[in-house]
Amino acid sequence: RPRRCGWFDAVLVRQSVAINGIHGVALTKLDVLDGLKTLKICVGYRIGDKVVDYLPAGMRDQKAAQPIYEEMDGWSESTAGARSFKDLNANAVKYVRRVEELIGAPVALLSTSPERDDTILMRDPFQG
């Protein structure tokens, strides 16, 4: 499924998790990362000479913000159709765990394709 998408912005998601009291997130379409040698995750922003780990409130600073990326190894194996966390390759697992660490919330649901059945329920999303 060729598509254009940006890198995961852990800073923005962490801020949303904190503000909204979120206890678990759905990480969807993991399969779109299949075949990428390197993955990036936004871990901060550079605004002029300043580095921040939050999305600035002001429009001017938001417009000037340049993402700071952490790079991770990608994977060549397909994650499409995986229905259990143990079915994922080591680098995909590392990616999911790093996202959880950076956003301060667990991945409760993980999808590995556009098919409804290709969903891994990591934990009960209704338990806090």
The CATH label, of 3.90.170.10, 3.90.950.20, 3.40.50.20, 3.40.50.460, for the domain at 8-121 is 3.90.170.10
- Residue 74 near residue 33 (C-beta atoms within 8 A): yes
Q: What is the pLDDT along the chain (128 residues), one digit of tens a residue?
A: 566 678 999 999 999 999 999 989 999 989 999 999 999 999 999 999 999 999 999 999 999 999 999 999 999 999 998 888 899 999 999 999 999 999 999 999 999 888 888 888 888 766 65
Closest CA to 67 of 10, 124, 127, 4: 10
Closest CA to 118 of 82, 66, 88: 82
pTM of the prediction? Answer: 0.89
